[in-house]
Amino acid sequence: MSIPRLKTYLSLFAAVLMLGQVATAAQAEALPDFTTLVEQASPAVVNISTKQKLPDRRYATGQMPDLEGLPPMFREFFERNMPQQPRSPRGDRHREAQSLGSGFIISSDGYVLTNNHVVADADEIIVRLSDRSELQAKLVGTDPRTDVALLKVDGKNLPTVKLGDSEKLKVGEWVLAIGSPFGFDHSVTKGIVSAKGRTLPNDTYVPFIQTDVAINPGNSGGPLFNMNGEVVGINSQIFTRSGGFMGLSFAIPIDVALDVSNQLKKDGKVSRGWLGVVIQEVNKDLAESFGLDKPAGALLA
């Protein structure tokens, strides 16, 4: 091979290498970098654990009533064949149920947002911060219809999240969740917004944000962030047929959650107005029955 031809081949090879490096760099720039977002947002994300006393039904069948007042013959029979189990002072036995969830601090003086189902009926609520310190939380109020709960812990200068506008969120946008799935604190998962305004059975008050962000037990109540590091939703539930994550997760829009939390903070409850109409989306069957060219609009009743 002649020297000029060899130089030509080497030049072409170098050009191909440079093009490959440029393409790789462009691909890397196109992929989102979550590291800064996670570093800034994680300190305001908390783990929530609850304790609840429940009647222990394991002792219900074997526990005999007091024997005082029974005829001697019956009392002797029960004492001989079914000795009494020791009773608690009130005659009750309890077991302690524990649950885990997530939440996030929205004010430096200690207000925390989470899901209602994370703290419902809890006798004790513990909030664990990112530095592993634990604070006992007071339940300010809950709203089961939107699955939002507001907690308060005693603290000053606590880290807080940035609050965004869920109305500006677009389908296809990158989003990120931080929470405690199965108790693993500050686990990070990411995905995109799959749809907005989803209505789920028995949840007519919430226009859910649908995403494909991996959500598991323990993520409930945790924040959903946009790429600006702003909270745009509260991770609430998943759709599953297996019991595990199947790519369908739903978050409460932060605009809805803040409206609820403001009312809970002010009044301890949520007040709603009633319009007296039922709105139903027009599907194909309804469109055909009304003689419409295509399914569009809504049916008011």
| Per-residue CA distances from 181 to 166, 222, 254, 275 (Å) | 24, 10, 21, 39
94 catalytic per annotation: no
Catalytic residue, candidates 220, 236, 249, 261: 220
Catalytic residue, candidates 117, 130, 186, 203: 117
* Residue reference for tokens 């601090």: 105
SS3 1: coil
Catalytic residue, candidates 143, 147, 185, 255: 147
| Per-residue CA distances from 228 to 6, 147, 161 (Å) | 51, 25, 11
117 catalytic per annotation: yes
Distance CA 53, CA 100 (A): 15
Distance CA 170, CA 152 (A): 32
In degrees to the nearest 10, what's the CA dihedral of 241, 244, 248, 254?
130
Distance CA 154, CA 122 (A): 19
180 catalytic per annotation: no
Q: Which residues belong to the active site?
A: 117, 147, 220
